[in-house]
Structure 1
């Protein structure tokens, strides 16, 4: 293959995608002695964690919180750097406020006594259930996050070995079903079961292992990076460049080149070829297998298999700035969850029926109460996020026709908490599932890749080491352990354990073929 990159020591690794999973992978490989090239079609790093700038406002496009900061600190430390010297991370208190249509609220904090008081304020009889829920969450964190989430699950025998523990922890039960066993009050059932929505999962079908998020919040807090997640991405790029690596923007990979069963590099849409000893894809797993390996016969991840997966929901996100409102709406903090009149019914419309509903629940992000860099002095920056069906359903929403009407519905809900905001808008930007499909090449415009159901997690999920070619690896939301900042950073940690140092052979054997599930 004619290439613009020559093979030489240290060995060359190409990373497809400058999302946080790809950047973390590049840092890990750089620390192992690889010469790394990161390729990304966008004009700035971060992938879903990148940002747009309009009229003095910075719109953080994707994730807004950091829940397990030690993962970043460990990553930086393994590269000989200090995360806190590179990123200004602020602890938030409270974490977020949940609001219901009847006017009741629940404020989530790190302090256990404060949380116990919040539970008692809504439902005194549920305090004991809360105590049990915390213990349940901690047990699932120890097993699901610190154990399974930080090692590869590409061997079938690894899955078989942990099945008894899955059974003991009732992984077959959904998050919502588990919360219902611990809380009688429907509001508390929602408050302690909605978290899978942050990683693209249906709380009524996603395994109860994901109640571990409650332990993450309690143990490590909820944090925000000044400058947004984009500032973390930019700091990662600086580490990569200091290691001798290179991050190229405006470079879209069209195909992974396979020769005699081994990944040998990539070909860009421009026609340029880049040779590599390792290829790591941070592109969506569906895009990787269906598009980037379209000319290579697949053993496991065939088009039929990827088509049969359940995908996470889509997202409608309205980013807007407001003039002179910094001293207004004082009861609206950094994170607010505004519930609609339905919970289970709305989730079913989104995930099962694929139906765009008239009612909605909103996540409202107001970073300007914490971060002065996000808006002009005296102004505010917001985003309002509504989960919606992805584009893969029959009769999927036509967002070209629906976007304006849906924006009016969102605005009506927002008026209940930030009245008069429309008269003060100074900048505005909207993203629908169409934009996730076109900007991030996300199958069906899904917000978080493959949904984390039990039969789409661990061994059942696309593996970090690919079955389809030697020297091909996957990181990011679509692979193990899953979506969310902790998940994508952990996927790079798993990669670091799979890939040998650059001085050693770089093409491990293809894992033995496993029986279809």
Structure 2
């Protein structure tokens, strides 16, 4: 099955045989599709393989009973990155995808019932802060200034810089250390704010990319400035509509997205990746391979047969992985028009809850939640008069040993009861469709190591050079993109990782003189 069969689009021409160098991309997530589209624009013939029945990976969409539920990412903070991708492929993002701003960015509810409206308006933010702690208004100003300084180095200078050499890394780290990168996000926030609610409010952002605010490097304080400068956006039709657009870009460039196809092994000869073998036995030759898989899966499974120097099984086992995610997707037969697009519901504990999740890996009785109501802005994702929701709870990854077969329904019921008590009255009587996802789904369906929601935890010594490199150390023509690679998780990070890959690969013209056998499909063909 191909993307054109699922999401037909005018302007996508039937594929014809060509002799361009062949790039195989493993995984049709945002990173893989972005890399595939850019490589196609740079002269490669591209084939993307994905085991799911539709593209997206973590950004898949569940469609049931007339509702559309984005499976994962819901927040767009850097739409210009996608505009650049479309432009490089010769198209306009606006012709394919409708991205609109959220205002406010989030509504935040603290456990005592206090609300905070989080936006990009500095005056409005200062007024909100003054309601809670007037003496912290000055701290907000100094924090946002520090966030700007970090953004201008960590994001503008290094988000698309490959960290493959120790020299580049040393130069970069010298700058980042001067910015206090050895501190945690919470350490920086606590320097500026005195009130515990505000310390929670301005330090929670690393959780959106799999990090513990108490251990995530302070580089991620840049998110506050990124949001205030460029806004928080959503995609009409859901984030997966952006995925569909990326998949069409691949095909417009003469590439192909093959769905329902699982890559079992990356084939190698010496230090070269020569292609891939699919679960059904088909082999597909390639001039280069790009993996959008979790790096632990890439090295621990797809290259399990290949001698590895850095990414050994021992190193993969020692790494720290992000928390797991419990998600409940549900639709109601009524609307809750007083609930916004994005709502954060903080529980009674902060640091000790995060210790339970990240360090002790125990499933606590309490929780903090993110509630997504896209039908607040886009009625098309639900039937008339209805609402579409998902609620996300950070939980331990599978290293915690929880049996989600037994726990899933009771945990969902606890979350439902809390939402009914705090935000969604009579919820139990109005749910008309429902599904859940646990860390087991991330492991089995998305091939995520330990069922982690965001691959490696974004700590200082798992960032930049210490993270999985975008150009593999193990094979000369293997490249990696996605959440587990530099610069990290989240849609901006994943897109930047794909751009790094596109900038690192050899020019297609340089490979055009390679033997035909190196570029032609293996048994069964790639087309």
* TM-score bracket relative to the smaller structure: over 0.9
> 2:410 is matched with which residue?
405
In structure 2, runs of 5+ residues without a counterpart are: 1-15, 514-527
Q: How far apart in 1 are the matches of 2:296 and 2:505?
A: 22
Q: How far apart in 1 are the matches of 2:44 and 2:476?
A: 17
Where does structure 1 differ by over 3 angstroms across 4 or more consecutive aligned residues? 6-9
**2:375 matched to 1:365?**
no
Asked if the contact 2:151/2:226 (under 8 Å) is kept, the reply is yes
Asked if the contact 1:196/1:206 (under 8 Å) is kept, the reply is yes
**CA deviation vs aligned residue, 1:292-343 (integer Å, no higher than 9, x gap):** 00000001000100110000000000000000x22x3x33100101111000
Q: How far apart in 1 are the matches of 2:45 and 2:267?
A: 19
**2:340 matched to 1:333?**
yes
> 2:89 is matched with which residue?
79
Corresponding residue SS for 1:118: helix
Asked if the contact 2:339/2:376 (under 8 Å) is kept, the reply is no
What displacement does 1:147 show?
Answer: 1.1
Q: How far apart in 2 are the matches of 1:506 and 1:229?
A: 36
What displacement does 1:8 show?
Answer: 6.4
**2:424 matched to 1:418?**
yes
What displacement does 1:506 show?
Answer: 8.5
Asked if the contact 1:279/1:471 (under 8 Å) is kept, the reply is yes
**2:508 matched to 1:502?**
yes
Change (3 A) 1:470 1:7: farther
What displacement does 1:73 show?
Answer: 0.4
Corresponding residue SS for 1:341: coil
Q: How far apart in 2 are the matches of 1:7 and 1:502?
A: 17
> 2:151 is matched with which residue?
141
Q: How far apart in 2 are the matches of 1:494 and 1:285?
A: 16
Q: How far apart in 2 are the matches of 1:120 and 1:73?
A: 37
**2:316 matched to 1:310?**
no
**2:106 matched to 1:91?**
no
Alignment partner of 1:388 out of 391, 395, 416: 395
Q: How far apart in 1 are the matches of 2:18 and 2:473?
A: 26
**2:195 matched to 1:185?**
yes
Q: How far apart in 1 are the matches of 2:505 and 2:35?
A: 11
How many correspondences in the alignment?
Answer: 499
Asked if the contact 1:46/1:229 (under 8 Å) is kept, the reply is no
What displacement does 1:99 show?
Answer: 0.5
Corresponding residue SS for 1:331: coil
**CA deviation vs aligned residue, 1:64-85 (integer Å, no higher than 9, x gap):** 0100000000111111110111
> 1:163 is matched with which residue?
173
Q: How far apart in 1 are the matches of 2:201 and 2:296?
A: 32
**2:241 matched to 1:231?**
yes
Q: How far apart in 2 are the matches of 1:506 and 1:349?
A: 54
> 2:163 is matched with which residue?
153
> 1:513 is matched with which residue?
none
**CA deviation vs aligned residue, 1:98-123 (integer Å, no higher than 9, x gap):** 11111111111111111111111211
> 1:34 is matched with which residue?
44
Q: How far apart in 1 are the matches of 2:155 and 2:112?
A: 36
Corresponding residue SS for 1:150: coil
What displacement does 1:162 show?
Answer: 2.0
Asked if the contact 2:217/2:459 (under 8 Å) is kept, the reply is yes
Q: How far apart in 1 are the matches of 2:318 and 2:343?
A: 35
> 1:3 is matched with which residue?
none
What displacement does 1:443 show?
Answer: 0.6
Corresponding residue SS for 2:290: strand
Asked if the contact 1:7/1:276 (under 8 Å) is kept, the reply is no
What displacement does 1:505 show?
Answer: 3.9
What displacement does 1:7 show?
Answer: 11
Corresponding residue SS for 1:476: coil
How well do the aligned residues superpose, as a CA RMSD in angstroms? Answer: 1.6
Asked if the contact 1:41/1:251 (under 8 Å) is kept, the reply is yes
> 1:271 is matched with which residue?
281
Asked if the contact 2:20/2:512 (under 8 Å) is kept, the reply is no
**2:516 matched to 1:483?**
no
**CA deviation vs aligned residue, 1:368-422 (integer Å, no higher than 9, x gap):** 01111110010000011000000023xx211011112111211121111101111
Change (3 A) 1:185 1:147: same
> 2:184 is matched with which residue?
174
> 2:441 is matched with which residue?
435
